[in-house]
Structures are given as structure tokens and as C-alpha cells.
Amino acid sequence: MTWGEGRRSIDHVVIVGGGTAGWMTAAGLISMLGATGLKVTLIEFEAIGIVGVGEATLPHIKHFNDTIGVNEAEFMAATSATFKLGIEFVDWARKGDSYIHPFGEFGLANEGVGFHHYWRKFHGHGEAGSLFDYSLPVIACREGKFQPPSEDPRSVLSTYRYAYQFDALKYAPFMRKLAETRGVKRLEGKVTKVSQDSESGDITAVTLDDGHEVTGDLFVDCTGFFGLLTEQTLATGYEDWSEWLPCDRAVAVPCESAGPLLPYTRATADSAGWRWRIPLQHRTGNGHVYSSGFTSDEAAHDSLVDNLEGAALADPRILRFTTGKRRKLWNKNCVAIGLSGGFLEPLESTSIYLIQEGITKLLELFPAHDGCDTERREYNRRMDLEFERIRDFLVLHYHATERDDSTFWDHMRTMTPPDSLRDKMDLFAAHGRVATYDHGLFLVPSWIAVLIGQRRIPAKYDPRVDLVEEAHMRQHLGGLRQHMQRAVSGMSEHNVFIAQHGMQEQVV
């Protein structure tokens, strides 16, 4: 039998769910595979609504938007978006601490040795200042500046990337318009029945509440926490990671903006979790992620409301979740993308990134025929790595702390972290070395930012640093700081950049 003989080709993808995950998937598939004749149908039930609180993203989203041909100015205006150069972490290692995890490099590497090793040597002498003074995006965040990075790799203005902060309730409709224009068929209705093949267990059709049956070859579950196809139908199972990340609730509320428009998200540690602050053009998004095992809903609500910078614009809303992921992100002929696939708290704004990775990897491994065990296994292997590496990075924020002012922080500080994280922390503690990955989101500068930001200064530095003459290095460090400061002073104010480039939201 030749390859594919006797097997059904994948001609029709049915997506159930029209939140951020559903419409991003629809837009991605139709843009990249529509020309091959692939049919894409999306079913959503507006009465259920969407989660709608995912407002902070990572730089990868720009690549996604660019790949499917999104016009940046139109997108910014339509979603009331702002630019994001990093995340500020307040009160994490100790109360009163603050550092920024930037989307960019620290200093400049020399002879293959990371800049932070040179910084470490002079930090030991007490003369290098803060490592964060050598990051251009950190300086830009502090000064409320923004400008897209330079394309000239020799320029210090090329050492960063940027993401967006946007109104999540406006992003899915923006993607919907794009997807429908390109040929995605949308059906409104509640899926009340899922039919399966009696032999393979594959999903063959979904039926709406009005009796309309939709057949398909490949199904994408984007039904959010419901997991209608992957869990309620296929009983895929869930890996629960609450042992390491015990936060299981969030209370969210938007408020009026106050002060300058900051180009970054803020995450402030609280007594049993943390609070987010996400500046948008028209308002500020706020939320408090907390562990119900360590505090009450009332206390979490009060802490959120007491810390708002402006008047609340809605009633606070509680969301419940279990941190973890589905045992198989792709099970039978169903791929779970978005909250149906799993959830990791938004401390590093990773959920929309995981949606994007789910789509990208599906495109890379898109099967020609049913069956497709090899593609499915490879997809699950890669997605598992993505989830696990993000999990470790999140746990680091909680575990690398000196806080002992609540039972929650005592628990996080003294817990046993995943072995994979323990190894990474030990490696860094000795010589400032960071284990690198073939796959995975957070690269070396991100690990350095959080480790150093949370006071994990390595005992030693790379011995090759001593080969560079001290006086020369001292001069280089001072010169670099000044050079970065000067470069940032030439950048636009964040709000001015948005206004001058036709990116302002249209107020109706």
C-alpha cells in the first residue's frame, strides 16, 4: 500500500469556540493553508461568552500577526493596544524590591562570554551598579519611552523586542473579521452532541442545539475551560501542577487610567499571590491571582480594589482554574488549543503565546491524512516541552524568594521545585551559567533577569572574564551605560509614538 492509500485526507477543520484561541486558530489556518483548498469552520456560542482577560502578551505575537498579514497600526487602534517592553516585578524576593524582566539583552557579549559574567566580577568589587542599568528596554521602561528596534545589528537600539498590551475583548473580533474575510465559515450555536467513530474513537461530527450537524476531518477544541471535545468527550486527562503553582483563582477588574502610559506590565507580589497592572490606551487592566488555600476571596478582592490607581469601571469578576495541562494536547483527531489545553497563571503573559505555538506547531505538522500517529506524537512532545519550561520559569519567581511574611511565602520558599528547575538554579548559583534549550520560550536573558532580579547572585563568574584587562572593562561598563542612556533619551514618549503613528483607538 502506498503512503496515504485507504486513509481519509484532511480537507475540513472544525474549530469549536470563538475566543482568542478559536479566532487566532481560524485566522492562522485559513491564512497559511486556505490556498491549498482547506475548509475551516468555526462554531461559537455567544451566550457563553469568552474569558476576555488575556491582555498582556510576549514579542512572539508580533511574528504571528506579521505572518498572517496584520497591519500593526490598524490592530493597535482596533484593540486599544499599547506597547510592552517587559514586565516589572515588585516585592518578589523581598518587600520593597523591584526589577524589570525586559524583552532584550543585557549589555553586549564579549568573546562568547555573557555580559552578566563581566558584570558579576565588577559587582563583586561594588562598582558595576545594577545589571538592569545595562538593558536598553529597562531604561526605556523607566523613562516611559518607546520606539521599534533598529534593524542595524551594530546599534544598541537593536538589542530588544516588543510585545503588546491589548483589550482581549477586542482581539478575538479583530481576528474574526480577518478570518471571515479570508473564507472561514462561522456558525452560531451551542454544541450539544459530539459523535465519534465506533472503532477509532475519532470525532466525526458535532451537533448544534438547533439539530444542525457539522462533520469534519480534524477538530480543534477551543472551548476554554469547558474542554468540550478533549475532556468531556475524549476524557484525555489533566496533569495538575498545583503542587508547584498553588494559585487557583483570579479576581479581575478594569479601572480608569492614571499617570503616564507605561510601556510595560507590572506584577506585584501579594501575601498569597500577586496583582497585575496592564496599561491600555483607554483604561488599566487589573487582577489579583491568588491561592484559595492561603487566602479568602474577600481578602483577595479587597487587596485588588484597595490598590487600584483609578475608579473601577466594572464589578470585579472571579475566575477559577487549575494549573496544568492536558495529558495529550492532540488526542485522536482533536487538538486542544487555548484554555482547553491547559492553563499557567499569567505571571509571564504566556497563554496567548501557547495558543500561538499550538497553531504554529499544528501548521508545521499538519497531517495529510487521518491516523497520523507520528505527527501527533511529535506535536505532543513539543507542546509538553513548552508547557514544562514555562512552568519551571514561573515556579522560579516564587521559589527564589526570601519572603517569610506569610504562610504562602513560607510554602513557596521551602517547597521542593521540579528537578529540572533545581538543576538550572544550581548551575546558575555556581558560575552564572544558564542551561540552554533546543525548544522553549524563555532564553538566557530572561533567566538571568529573574535570577539576578531575585537576588540569586552567582558565587563565581566565567574564568575567561579575567583574561580581559580590568581597566579596559571598567571603561567599557561606564561607556555602555552612558551610551544606552543617550539612545533612550532620543526615543519617543510611549503615548506620543502611538498618537503619531495612527495607532490611537477610535472613540465612537
Any idea which residues carry the catalytic annotation?
Answer: 84
Looking only at residues 324 through 383 of this chain, which bind ligand FAD when binding is defined by CB under 6 A?
Answer: 338-340, 346, 349, 351-352, 355
Q: Please report whether residue 54 would count as binding ligand FAD according to CB under 6 A.
A: yes
Question: 223 vs 271, which CB is nearer to ligand FAD?
Answer: 223
Among 56, 131, 229, 300, binds ligand FAD (CB under 6 A): 56
Question: 28 vs 54, which CB is nearer to ligand FAD?
Answer: 54
Among 100, 140, 157, 191, binds ligand FAD (CB under 6 A): 191
Question: 333 vs 349, which CB is nearer to ligand FAD?
Answer: 349
Q: Please report whether residue 216 would count as binding ligand FAD according to CB under 6 A.
A: no
The residue among 339, 330, 389 whose CA lies nearest residue 361 is: 330
The residue among 457, 495, 483, 446 whose CA lies nearest residue 100 is: 446
Q: Please report whether residue 133 would count as binding ligand FAD according to CB under 6 A.
A: no
Looking only at residues 23 through 52 of this chain, which bind ligand FAD when binding is defined by CB under 6 A?
Answer: 43-45, 48, 50-51
CB of 467 to ligand FAD, least distance (A): 43
Among 18, 104, 107, 316, binds ligand FAD (CB under 6 A): 18
Among 10, 15, 20, 123, binds ligand FAD (CB under 6 A): 20
Residues in contact with ligand FAD, total (CB under 6 A)? 39
The residue among 168, 173, 175, 166 whose CA lies nearest residue 83 is: 166
CB of 42 to ligand FAD, least distance (A): 9
- Residues paired with 336 in a beta bridge: 221
Q: Please report whether residue 79 would count as binding ligand FAD according to CB under 6 A.
A: no
Relative orientation angle of helices 373-399 and 419-431, to the nearest 10 degrees: 50
What is the dihedral sign for C-alpha 397, 253, 405, 123?
Answer: positive
Looking only at residues 217 through 276 of this chain, which bind ligand FAD when binding is defined by CB under 6 A?
Answer: 222-224, 226, 228, 250, 252
DSSP 227: -
Question: How far apart are alpha carbons 448 and 427 in whole angstroms?
Answer: 12
CB of 475 closer than 8 Å to CB of 126 = no
- Residues paired with 275 in a beta bridge: 268, 288
Among 55, 202, 231, 386, binds ligand FAD (CB under 6 A): 55
Question: How far apart are alpha carbons 483 and 293 in whole angstroms?
Answer: 48
Pull the grid cell for residue 54: 488575556
CB of 457 to ligand FAD, least distance (A): 30
CB of 56 to ligand FAD, least distance (A): 4
Question: How far apart are alpha carbons 355 and 460 in whole angstroms?
Answer: 39
Q: Please report whether residue 319 would count as binding ligand FAD according to CB under 6 A.
A: yes
Q: Tell me how crowded residue 67 is: count the other CB atoms within 10 A of its CB.
A: 14
CB of 104 to ligand FAD, least distance (A): 19
3-state SS class at 407: helix
CA atoms in the 13 A half-sphere facing the CB of 365: 22
CB of 476 to ligand FAD, least distance (A): 37
- DSSP assignments along 135-171, one per residue: -HHHHHHHHTEE-PPPS-TTSGGGSB--EEE--HHHH
Chain residues binding ligand FAD by CB under 6 A are 16-22, 43-45, 48, 50-51, 53-57, 168, 190-191, 222-224, 226, 228, 250, 252, 287, 319, 321, 338-340, 346, 349, 351-352, 355
